[in-house]
Structure 1
């Protein structure tokens, strides 16, 4: 082979290798964090979740590691199902790599440093390579504190006759990892006004509570550098339906809406039935026109495209919880789509009667008598002439007013 030819081949090989390296550098991307885990302070018995989102090309691999003391040789890899299945790891790979680490039923031994490691280096699992150069890392510190102890009142059930004596709910913070900042009361997840204070022993007074006062009450204690704690006291009562639509009048093809609202706690299980041959039966929704919406102490029954033959009747809403049950009946009336025609015909009839009355009144006037074309001697006669006076105008006004009212119904 000629030396010049061999030199040209070597030059082409070098160009090809340089191009491949440039293409690789353009298409590849080192791993980088989009979202890294955050440090948290938790109480015993709580749950925490750490999130890790990494980009890179190719898509990086993610691992989770843990160390009680933040030292390089103290870390141990975590696996899904570790610590008696209290550890869960869910990872998804796509354009990004996303992983979620969760630990439930925390104990004091779960405190420490948790590390998210990511790498798309082909040598990342080579034992001869230094992991510090092939993996990127993001750490979070989880602090676990002993849960404070709260002594609270027992659950209370209100009598069904709605005559309950006054009740005082009590909570006492008996032990805590640090001094609390404030305390207050909540009902059904909403803070009760004018209950915030700084006492460890807090009370909430209810004067003769009834159904509307039933619910989930919580006394809450806040801390400066730790999560708040609470104790729950349930005031239970049977459901009492305090509001419902008694009746609804609709035309066929329209939509009807019936509803019921109750008091009581726990929140009831709602059901709707229809009267059929003297017995309330579950609604047959084969047509798919019935829609039921339940939300705590409220329920709705919607019926679309009303049918005049099958939909009219009595509908019963029923509320049931562990304490008792309550029900109410609503009446649905469905009119023909020609129902608007009957008031119009009534108005037309009244207008016709009005015209007849006016014509009759005008015709009651007597003309002068003419005999054989000769005027008759003047005679004195007493003639009653009916004219449209105030009484006639009043009658006409009443008829027109009534007609307009019928049209607006």
Structure 2
């Protein structure tokens, strides 16, 4: 079911790229990093097929989506297999978390914590360069966080990852309790490090200075805390550990970035959502014009040049991924994407993956719900690294099976 939908979506994008409705010519001003104008020449496409208003952009999007799909397939196939050590010593039954799943989740956890740490160091240093090396052209050069030129993207990436790290820690702790491990009781097991990594990752959201990211962080912390309290009755030590980690997140984050974040909440542009309301008004007309088949993947930016009435700036994104998807993919493509996501969550309940405890699914679900909420007010799925990370988590989900009882 998933593959039928994915192939349909790829075919939909490729069809629109090969059926262009317009040819665009961009104009550039010397010394300016972005295009300053665009001219459009209309062509004669097959009207009842998906169309693109910028063939080059849509064709580039097709190759990007194909790469993401192949990455999903490779990750899922790899996770479903066993390591060499497991094949030698195992009884043939797959167990969660297997060696490969642990390698992947440890890598994701360490990487997210490293991104958070680098972003914090940049904030303390005061540099506006990306990784102290590259000039940042976004938002006038202000607001970079780690490798992300847009601070909100950094916060979105971290908010996507820290609940997953918490879920991994929860699973390993549960396994050690079941084994009555001495290393668990003494606090010496490596899984304890995951709690530190999760706290460090989440603290970076505060330091990133993203208002939306911070509000979402608070909501995610509450959701994770409630789930863990309800799912882990009579485990006082566990509850105290979770509470300590969450207090550490707010304490460290507040100490390093609380003052700057509060200044952003007091700024005058909060009422206009940093100009988003103007973009939404102009983009709503675009959604009406391209309601059924869309304008073509990744064609919002050039077309917005002609549609902006309320907004004097030429913005490259709607800052509402749902609205932008409706514009570029139309209702048909939007529905296909929704069906793919629903199918991903259906697989653990009907598929034949590796049995995994419900708490792991719950924490991945919290992470995904968080990024989907933020997508209503920003652009996480327009950022390749966040988009790819989300799809990688989908691969993890489809390799597992909800363990009942």
Q: Answer yes or no: same fold by TM over 0.5.
A: no
TM-score (norm 2): 0.19
Q: Give 1 or 2 for the bigger CA radius of gyration.
A: 1
User: Greater relative contact order: 1 or 2 (C-alpha under 8 angstroms, separation 6 or more)?
Assistant: 2
TM-score (norm 1): 0.18
The structure whose residues are more often helix, as a share, is 2
